[in-house]
A and B are shown apart, each in its own frame.
Chain A
């Protein structure tokens, strides 16, 4: 900490001048940081119980921003209402909290789109940066008769109810969306498929291996430890391009001719009324982190693929994403 001073970010001096008051306080605590962003008691709110995806997202901010912020980020947990509690809190009482970022995923965006988060929308918060991305995947057990995505799709076209599709979320969740996109591509309707909502990814993998479900529409990231074990096969990824090892041999749904794509974006937002200085400090810290190899390594360790967007770039991406999600959700009858 003491020696990582000048080289990390440009514009360091001006930021120090701007944040002089906060720096004086922080300096009293021992770290005379110079090029690091000055955030007083930085906090990353994981809107869930410890141990899940939001926890992981916050850990990436915690480790990844350590060299770029004057203090280490504290991870706090705010379970409740699948993230709705945190989203509402940061839209009502903590709208101007300069020290806190909140983890979100595409699932949170989907909940905003379908109105589960209440009256507030993506316009009401400020989107800071991404931690990385994950992609949807079509997974079958090792002994499955389905050899390729084509087999699955043909069977679905023939008789949608003959394939039991399962995943870790309810109707309207991300996992369900992936299944709904598949069935739509196979010429059916989401209402016509046979879908089982399991309790999270771990439960879904257990159901797949135990033979309760035939196909699991899961994520690429959670498959990493299972790739060499030979208990499950990934038939296709729902990414735009082929992924790196260990998925280099797995085709994308698109290259097989099915227009099914699902990116799970993981990142952070802040309250709508935070100061521009604080917002920019966070954004700059992320941008500085994106430049480093350590951050890339951190992402891959946590099972995420690089997707580095911060500030305006991210806001644009979120807005595009929301439009697409609203379209799909309306089509599936989830938004009236």
Chain B
């Protein structure tokens, strides 16, 4: 069943992909007989045939993920999206402390250990990556503003 739903979603996406390939992609002129549209057209047709086969004969019954696990997974995805969104505005250090601590806590570390881990990951990670390896990590507008105030 899960197989069919997943294949169904992929089917719709591939149909959209195929429609774009057959209807909208074209070049003003081209030097090869295939042009920009033939390759995606071929791919989409074969993919649709594969998907029809899977829809016809699915072999995975269910996701086998219970409600609690699914909830945690959704929470994990949400955490990562928030982490990504905060990455530049508040900077690597603060966003990593928050993300590290919350994720560790969610996965079962104690409150104290989560906090320590978050701090270590945020500050240690910054020292290791930005200072030692000279990688370009965001300081964050907040930290930058603080530095400016301290500097003047």
Which A residues form the contact surface with B (CB < 8 A)?
21, 24-25, 28, 74, 76, 171, 190-191, 193-197, 333-334
Contact B27–A171 (Cβ < 8 Å)? yes
Contact B29–A171 (Cβ < 8 Å): yes
Identify B152's interface contact among A24, A74, A333, CB under 8 A: A24
Determine whether B30 belongs to the interface, using a CB cutoff of 8 Å to chain A: yes
Pick from B28, B29, B30, B148: contact of A25, CB under 8 Å? B148
Expressed in whole angstroms, the minimum distance between the Cβ of A12 and any Cβ of chain B is 21
**Which of B27, B28, B31 has its CB near the most chain A CB atoms (within 10 A)?**
B31
Would B27 and A24 count as touching, CB distance under 8 A?
Answer: no
Dominant SS among interface residues on chain A = mixed
A191 to B27, CA, bound (A): 12
Q: Does the CB pair A195–B148 fall under 8 Å?
A: no
**B136 interfacial contact with A, CB 8 Å:** yes
Task: Kindly list chain B residues whose C-beta atoms are within 8 Å of the C-beta of A76.
Answer: 136
Q: Are B152 and A21 in contact (CB under 8 A)?
A: yes
In the complex, the answer to whether B151 meets A25 with C-beta atoms within 8 Å is yes
Indicate which residue in B29, B148, B151, B152 contacts A191 across the interface (CB closer than 8 Å).
Answer: B29
- Count contacts on B: residues with CB < 8 A to the other chain: 9
| 8 closest Cβ pairs, A-B complex | A25-B151, A191-B29, A195-B31, A333-B28, A76-B136, A21-B152, A24-B152, A28-B151
Closest to A161 in B: B31
**Residue interface mask B135-152, A partner, CB < 8 A = 1:** 010000000000010011
**Are A25 and B31 interface neighbours, CB within 8 A?**
no
CA A197 – CA B136 in complex, angstroms?
35
- In the bound complex, CA of A197 to CA of B29 (Å): 13
Q: Is the CB of A171 within 8 A of B30?
A: yes
Contact B29 A194 (CB under 8 A): no
**Can you pick out 17 interface pairs between chain A and chain B where the beta carbons lie within 8 Å of each other?**
A21-B152, A24-B152, A25-B148, A25-B151, A25-B152, A28-B151, A74-B136, A76-B136, A171-B27, A171-B28, A171-B31, A191-B29, A193-B31, A195-B31, A196-B31, A197-B31, A333-B29
A21 to B149, CA, bound (A): 11
**Interfacial chain A residues near B29, Cβ < 8 Å:** 171, 190-191, 333
Q: Give A32 to B9 CA distance when docked, in angstroms.
A: 62
Q: Which residues of A contact B31 (CB under 8 A)?
A: 171, 193-197
Alpha-carbon distance between A171 and B35 when the two chains are bound, in angstroms: 12
By a CB distance below 8 angstroms, the chain B residues around A24 are 151-152
Q: In whole angstroms, how far apart are the Cα atoms of A171 and B28 in the complex? A: 10
Expressed in whole angstroms, the minimum distance between the Cβ of A32 and any Cβ of chain B is: 15
CB-based nearest A residue for B88:
A93
Bound CA–CA A24/B148 (angstroms)? 10
Task: Please name all residues of chain B whose beta carbon is closer than 8 Å to the beta carbon of A195 when the two chains form the complex.
Answer: 31
Binary contact track B96-109/A, C-beta < 8 Å → 1, others 0: 00000000000000
Other A-B pairs, 12, CB within 8 Å; known A25-B148, A196-B31: A21-B152, A25-B152, A74-B136, A171-B27, A171-B29, A171-B30, A171-B31, A190-B29, A191-B29, A193-B31, A333-B28, A333-B29
Give the residues in chain B near A193, CB-CB below 8 Å.
Answer: 31
Docked pose: A334 CA to B27 CA in angstroms: 10
| CB-based nearest B residue for A28 | B151
A195 and B27 CA atoms in complex are apart in Å by 15
Shortest A186–chain B CB gap in Å is 17
Contacts of A333 in B (CB 8 A): 28-29
Q: Bound state CA distance, A333 and B28, in angstroms?
A: 7
- Inter-chain contacts of B152 with A (CB < 8 A): 21, 24-25
